[in-house]
Structures are given as C-alpha cells and as structure tokens.
Amino acid sequence: MKKNDLRDALSGINKDYIAESDDFRTVAAAFRKQRWLKNKAMASTLCFLIVGVLAIGITQSGMLKRKLQMSEKGVGTVSSIGSGTSEAGPAADAAAVSAEERSVPEAPVIDEPLYYSKLVRNTEIPDLDVYAETAPMSIKAFEESMLKDSAGVIEGEILDIWVNHYEYETASDKFEPDGRLYHKLGTVAYKIKADRVFSGDFTAGDVVTIEDYCFFYDPIISVKKGGSYVIPIGEGDGRIYEADEITGGDTSLERRYYTLYQCHPQIEKVDGGYIVPADWKTLITQDCSEIIMDIDENGSPFSDPLYYVPESVFNDRISLIIQS
C-alpha cells in the first residue's frame, strides 16, 4: 500500500482498531467497508428527504386528500401491476368527485325530434269506393266556439269505415218546366267505440256510427281504421239535405250523427299524448311541441302545424273548452 493511501485510511478508521491490527491490508478493507456504509446512509437520507418534499407538495395541492377520500368511498384505481385487470378507471374517479368540486355544469338533455310518421299508427289514405266530388266548397275556418253546437265530444277507436251510396231526384226547371234532376250521393260512415266521453249524451263503451257528406282523401285529414281520435260530433235530422224538393229515391241517411268539422285532422290519440291541429289554441301551451311532417302530403289542403300535446296538458285544457 502506498504511503498516501495509508494516510487516508488512518484518517478514517478508529485508531484503537489500527492499534490492534498489524496487517495493512486488513486496515484498507475495513476502510472501504466503512466508506460504503457511510455513502449508503447518505443516499438513504437523501431519498427520505425527496419523498418528504413530494408528499408535502401533494398534500398542499389537495391531490393526496382527494385520493384518500376516494379510497374511503371504496373507489378503485387502475394498477399496472398484476393480472392486467382493473376494478375501476377514470369514469369511477370522476363519479367520486362531489358536486361542489365540479367546475362545469352537466349539459341539458335535448328532446328527440317528433316525426309525424313515428307518432301515428297509419298514414295511408283509406281505400274507399265513393262517388267523385267535383263541386267547389266554401269552408269556414274552425273555431273552438263551434263546440257549442256539438252533440258531444268523445274519444275512441275507429272500428270500421265504409261508404254508403244514395240515389235520388229533385224537382228542377233548369232544363224544362216541371223537370227532374238525378243525383248520386256518396257518404263515408264509420263506427267509433267511445272510450272516454267529454260531453254529450253518450256513455263509455257505446259504439257510435257517424256519417259524413264530406270526406277528405288525405294522409293527414282522413280518419283511419284502427286509429283513436277525439271527435266533436254534430247531430242532424237523419235526412238528405237538398235546396230543391226531393221527389223520389233515397231520402234518409243511415245515421243522424256527423263529424262536426270535417275539413282538418281530428285530434288523434298517440302514446303519451295527442296530435292536435294548431287551431285548437286553448290546448296548445309552451309544454307542447310542434311535429315535424316527414310524409308525402300529396298536396294536402291542410297546411297548418300540428302539435304534440302531452296527456296531462290535454286533460287539463280540454275541460276549459268544454266548460266554456
């Protein structure tokens, strides 16, 4: 061993130990061992200091506190050690954060669009054999006040629909004195089973036959077999009306009841609510939604909007119209 090495060794080793040893190699080995122990102790102390500083920073930032809260709630975390499966992930961590800790509010739920074809059962025009109607018509606009002339308002399913044919003659001097005009009339009749009675001398369970002079062959306006409708009903005398005297042929209709207003869609019952034409103003509130018309309307004469009226709103508002 060189003299300088021996001096360094002597400065770092207990003198009593040197006195007991005559072997410089033993002294050198002991020196290296003590230096290694000293370095290890310093490294361990440095690691503890680093870990302590990190722990203080995490605690101050709130991260450690949040982790402890999540552990108390039983929320698992993903581990990269083990079988590769995890008990929870980022979604579970987010769910554990309390409402106070959320900085961004949840997005509002947007209602799905209301398409006409998805709400109604049938959009097919009824296939009925009826005489062609070519005479022009003057149609009065619908008003809710018309219900004062109704014989009743009922809700029910259309059980059947058919055509009645009538032939008759009237006195006329149009072409010759004491002449005659011959007429062919086709009416559309349907049976409706009354599930609810809002007004009139009807009872739930009654099957009422309604017969109309005017029937629109239209995918929107026509009532359809199997559909459920709320229909205001008028009551006549059960006879065919003509301005001129009827001199022969059929003079009586099958039924005296008719649809009070036939020139726009009847209120149709659908899941959870009703489809209501816009001119029922009392029934339509801010809780109602306009319906998107997504069918081929084939030049339908009805162009006003239709609204989806929730059942609760309808039940409250229809009583206001009936009572007025």
CA distance 278 to 142: 10
Between 302 and 307, where is the model more confident?
Answer: 307
For 9-57, write each residue's pLDDT tens digit.
444 444 444 444 444 444 444 444 455 444 444 544 444 444 444 444 4
Instruction: Specify whether 25 is located in the same domain as 81.
Output: no
Instruction: Specify whether 146 is located in the same domain as 235.
Output: yes
Which secondary-structure segment (H or E) carries 34?
helix 24-61
State the CB neighbour count (10 A cutoff) for residue 211.
Answer: 20
pLDDT at 62: 43
CA distance 226 to 192: 10
Calculate Rg over the CA atoms of the chain: 46
Determine the Cα angle at 129 with ends 302 and 164, to 5°: 95
Residues ≥6 apart with Cβ < 8 Å to 307: 275, 276, 277, 278, 283, 284, 288, 289, 290, 291
Instruction: Specify whether 27 is located in the same domain as 54.
Output: yes
Q: Find tokens 């002991």 and name the residue.
A: 30
pLDDT at 132: 63
CA distance 106 to 90: 17
Nearest to 62 by CA among 100, 105, 104, 92: 100
For 182-233, write each residue's pLDDT tens digit.
998 899 999 999 999 999 999 999 999 999 988 888 888 999 999 999 999 9
Instruction: Specify whether 216 is located in the same domain as 87.
Output: no
Instruction: Specify whether 51 is located in the same domain as 167.
Output: no
Contact criterion met (CB below 8 Å) for 301 and 164: no
Instruction: Specify whether 254 is located in the same domain as 196.
Output: yes
Give the count of domains, the chain.
3
Residues ≥6 apart with Cβ < 8 Å to 127: none
Instruction: Specify whether 19 is located in the same domain as 121.
Output: no
Q: Find tokens 């609204």 and name the residue.
A: 307
Q: Is residue 232, in this structure, part of any structural domain at all?
A: yes
Q: Is residue 106, in this structure, part of any structural domain at all?
A: no
* CA separation, residue 172 to residues 20, 135, 182 (Å): 155, 18, 10
pLDDT at 189: 95
Q: Is residue 194, in this structure, part of any structural domain at all?
A: yes
Instruction: Specify whether 194 is located in the same domain as 300.
Output: yes
Q: Is residue 111, in this structure, part of any structural domain at all?
A: no
Which secondary-structure segment (H or E) carries 312?
helix 311-323
pLDDT at 271: 93
Instruction: Specify whether 33 is located in the same domain as 165.
Output: no
Q: Is residue 24, in this structure, part of any structural domain at all?
A: yes
Q: Is residue 261, in this structure, part of any structural domain at all?
A: yes
Instruction: Specify whether 310 is located in the same domain as 205.
Output: yes
Instruction: Specify whether 36 is located in the same domain as 181.
Output: no
pLDDT at 204: 95
Cα of 158 vs its chain's centroid, Å: 27
Q: Is residue 103, in this structure, part of any structural domain at all?
A: no
Nearest to 87 by CA among 71, 97, 75, 96: 75
pLDDT at 217: 84
Looking at the predicted structure, is the pLDDT value of residue 289 above 70?
yes
Q: Find tokens 């301005």 and name the residue.
A: 243
Answering whether pTM is above 0.85, one says no
Q: Is residue 263, in this structure, part of any structural domain at all?
A: yes
Instruction: Specify whether 22 is located in the same domain as 42.
Output: yes
Contact criterion met (CB below 8 Å) for 123 and 219: yes
Nearest to 231 by CA among 203, 257, 213, 250: 257
Domain containing 51 equals 3-61
